[in-house]
Amino acid sequence: MKTTKIHVYTEDGTIRLDIFASEKTGITRSQVQKLIRDGLVMINGVTASPGNKVKTSDVIEISMPEKSGEFLTPEDIPLKIIFMDEYIAVVDKPAGMVVYPAAGHSGGTLMNALAHYSSKLASIGGKLRPGVVHRLDKDTSGVMVVAVNDGSYYNLIEQFRNRTIQRKYVALVAGSLKEDSGDISLSIGRSQTDRKKMSTRTRRGKKAMTHWRVLKRLNKATMIEAKLDTGRTHQIRVHFAAVGHPVLGDVTYGKKTDIDINGRKVHIPRQMLHAEKLEFVHPISGQIMRFSSPFPDDMKACIESLTSLPSS
């Protein structure tokens, strides 16, 4: 039996236990509901009941039967490690790589690769995602940090929760933004029509803030820099889709995979979103750590094509 402990913070608000636990653990609501019925979920040491809601400062404990073969298998997969010591690993994730094993992706992930490069990883975060304190979507490239030991995991989680970690993304979005900079402050929650998607039109949205500025105006597209105050799922993709400028190549929220410029098509191979910069405090030394990732080739090619083709 594996027990997962989850703390409820103020920003989580008041929400049904099954929804909260599903969002925090990644298992389905029906699975959570079964665990509740089987008496395997507790709130503050008391067995939970169906329909319970969580509130600030609650401690949720979920006991789940161990699955045979549920462990992280090291795989010899090329992985660009920018920095690594006995406390943290900073990696440059390529587009197309999933961060950790899940349904449909049992191997070939960033964590499978990292387990090959490091014999020691944090024990917290789950057997298949030890030390994962944040993640990038499969088709998003760029820099991210993983905790290598438990102390670093808790420290980095706290930095993310306090919003002191600085993240800068670069994206190519459809169309021309009217202003040179701005903020998008639409709340984000699970879509009411498609549970696999996030939406700004939801009854249970959480506060989300994206600051952006134009880096370059392209043909029928704009290259922007985005900074996040919050880290909601798919935040940049959802926010820009909501204001009518979806990320190019995002088949979930925009479906803009080709741009026609005077009869010439520019193909967009994947969502053009890149985690360019990451800044945080080292969990042990207290030193400010700054890392960056150069644009991947496919993104550079798109920028060049959208720059070189005449617009009229």
| Residue 169 phi, psi dihedral angles, 5° rounding | -115, 155
139 belongs to the catalytic site: no
**Torsion, Cα of 29, 30, 33, 38 (10° steps):** -140
Contact between residue 186 and residue 208 where contact means Cβ atoms under 8 Å apart: yes
Task: Please pick, among 137, 139, 250, 298, the residue that the annotation labels catalytic.
Answer: 137
Distance of CA 150 to the CA centre of its chain: 20
Angle between helices 17-25 and 29-37 (to 10 degrees): 120
Q: Which helix (H) or strand (E) holds 40?
A: none
DSSP 219: T
Contact between residue 18 and residue 34 where contact means Cβ atoms under 8 Å apart: no
Contact between residue 112 and residue 75 where contact means Cβ atoms under 8 Å apart: yes
Q: What angle do CA 42, 133, 33 make, to 5 degrees?
A: 30
Neighbours of 46 (CB within 10 A): 8
Which residues does the annotation mark as catalytic? 137
